[in-house]
Amino acid sequence: MRSILLAGTALATLASGAAHAQMSDNVIKIGMLSDRSGIYADINGEGSAIAARLAAEEFGNAVNGTKVEIIVGDHQNKADIAANLARQWIDTEKVDVVADVPNSAAALAVQVITRDKKRLFLMSGPGSTDLTGKECSPYGFHWTWDNHAVASATARALVEQGRKSWYFLTADYAFGHSLEAEAASTLKEIGGTVKGGVRHPLGTSDFSSFLLQAQSSGAQVVGFANAGGDTINAVKQASEFGLPQGGQTMAALLLNINDVHALGLPIAQGLTLANSFYWDMTDETRAWSKRFEERTGRKPSMNQAGVYSSVKHYLKAVQEAGTDDPDKVAAKMRGMPVNDMMMKDVRIADNGRVMNHMYLLQVKTPAESKHPWDYFKVLKDIPGDQAYIDPKKSGCPLVK
């Protein structure tokens, strides 16, 4: 009885005021390291910083009386600048957590630094599965998506609809190869077939010969294992060559709502893709996206929504743990499920992978779209356990 009483008193002291003393300095500093001027500026960039601010504002910009401050940096898609900035932030500006970081090379560089220096790292944008595989970190948390999730979810869902034979149009660099490999291994697992594939150089403007090969392969699905401008160009030209009209399903292994916005519905209609967030799903997502749109003039991408979710979860963990000690906060983040407008009761695996749902989406036809940004039909809800690599098989040494 006495010990319970004692514990009770101790808890009460901890909750009142004492928590404040647990903070390493008088501010919780979040460093938003992003591409603010290059190809990821639209899907992350300033929008990510705003998403993080929205999360901080929900806490009144303070946790347990300690101020939350958000600073931004532009890594210009260069791994060395990302590494330099992250290091400098941690060493001289006492940044507690680095967030966002699109571009896998930059994220891998920051992962090494945050692991050495014991600072938390919240990723929403890089795709490499190595971040929760052989390069995993006890302080690194991978939100939103990875190459395996977007590629295999799309492959799996389409095979289940009877679209079994695939042809790949792959950007000839590590990211493209990885997307293709993830989709192909899923196809093999569940009885799909790969009819062939062709590799195009990064930044191709003329896809005609590749598309004709895809067309004549007779495959039911043409999978675009590329990203950004390449996907946009390939999809545009595929619609000019009449691939969708000929009955072939076009599957983009990585596509964002901003890409669809850029393409326009007449061209993008019918595309199948997987995202972990779409603004028009529940009242909560709509309400949050409205707040986001008021600040930015556009709907959030999944990466930006993921930044919000990760920063909010981090601040919640700091609040609950009563400290900003990286080890304790990391343990707390793993210990409690992620709950916000984007995710419901999502667990975080030991390798740092956030096991959120993926949604199989299809781009609406112009006739189906009723209002601005009304772009997707949700075809399927894929639970995290099916979407992501089993943490035990990820190759991460932290998983026992």
Partner 1 sequence: MTSKISSAVLPAAAPHTADRDRGTRIALILLGLGVAVAAPFLLYPVFVMKVLCFALFACAFNLLIGFAGLLSFGHAAFFGGAAYVTAHAAKVWGLEPALSILLGTASAALMGLVFGALAIRRQGIYFAMITLALSQMVFFLALQLPFTGGEDGIQGVPRGRLFGLFDLNQPLVMYYFVLAVFLAGFALIWRTVHSPFGQVLKAIRENEPRAVSLGYRTERYKLLAFVLSASLAGLAGGTKALVFQLASLTDVTWQMSGEVVLMTLLGGMGTLLGPVVGAGFVVALGNYLAATSLPVPVVIGAIFVVCVLLFRRGIVGEIAHHLRRRST
Question: Residue from 40, 145, 175, 308 that binds partner 1 (CB under 8 A)?
Answer: 175
For partner 1 (CB under 8 A), the number of binding residues is 36
Upper half-sphere CA count for residue 138 (Cβ side, 13 Å): 12
Q: How far is the CB of 175 from partner 1 (least distance, A)?
A: 6
CA 120 to CA 291: how far, in whole Å? 27
Output phi, psi for 397, to 5 deg: -65, -15
Nearer to partner 1 (CB atom), residue 128 or residue 362: 128
Nearer to partner 1 (CB atom), residue 85 or residue 183: 85
Q: Give the type of residue at 387.
A: A
Which helix (H) or strand (E) segment is 237 a member of?
A: helix 228-240
Smallest separation (angstroms) from partner 1 to the CB of 25: 19
Dihedral of the alpha carbons of 360, 366, 368, 373, in degrees to the nearest 10: 60
Query: Which span (146-154, 170-178, 245-253, 352-360) binds partner 1, by CB under 8 A?
Result: 170-178
**Binding map of partner 1 across residues 330-359, x = CB under 8 A, - = no contact:** ------------------------------
Report how far residue 208's alpha carbon sits from residue 106's, in angstroms, rounded to the nearest whole number.
33
Phi first, then psi, for residue 286 (nearest 5°) are -65, -40
Which of 16, 92, 205, 245 binds partner 1 (CB under 8 A)? It is: 92
Give the per-residue contact string, 199-218, with partner 1 (x = CB under 8 A; - = no).
---x----------------
Tokens coding 77: 């898609």
User: Which of 67, 117, 118, 177 contacts partner 1 by CB under 8 A?
Assistant: 177
Residues 45-64 that bind partner 1 (CB under 8 A): 46
Among 14, 79, 198, 262, binds partner 1 (CB under 8 A): 79
Q: Give the separation between CA 312 and CA 333, rounded to whole angstroms.
A: 11
- Taking the complex as a whole, the smallest distance from the CB of residue 108 to partner 1 amounts, in Å, to 4
The conformational region for residue 20 under phi > 0 = left, psi -120 to 50 = alpha, else beta, is alpha
| CA-closest candidate to residue 111, choices 145, 70, 144, 83 | 83
Report which of 292, 288, 210 is spatially closest to residue 258, judged by C-alpha positions.
292
Q: Report d(CA 223, CA 77) in Å as an integer.
A: 26
Binding residue (CB under 8 A) for partner 1 from 14, 62, 81, 336 = 81
Sign of CA dihedral 340, 119, 40, 358: negative
- Identity at 56, one-letter amino acid code: A
Asked if 36 interacts with partner 1 (CB under 8 A), we say yes
Judged by CB, which is closer to partner 1: 34, or 269?
34
108 near partner 1, rule: CB under 8 A: yes
Per rule CB under 8 A, is residue 112 in the interface with partner 1? yes
DSSP state of 300: P
Q: Is 295 in the site for partner 1 (CB under 8 A)?
A: no
The contact pattern for partner 1, residues 123-162, with x = CB under 8 A and - = no contact, is: -----x-x----x---------------------------
Residues that bind partner 1 (CB under 8 A): 36-37, 46, 71-81, 83-85, 87-88, 91-92, 104-105, 108-109, 111-112, 128, 130, 135, 172-175, 177, 202
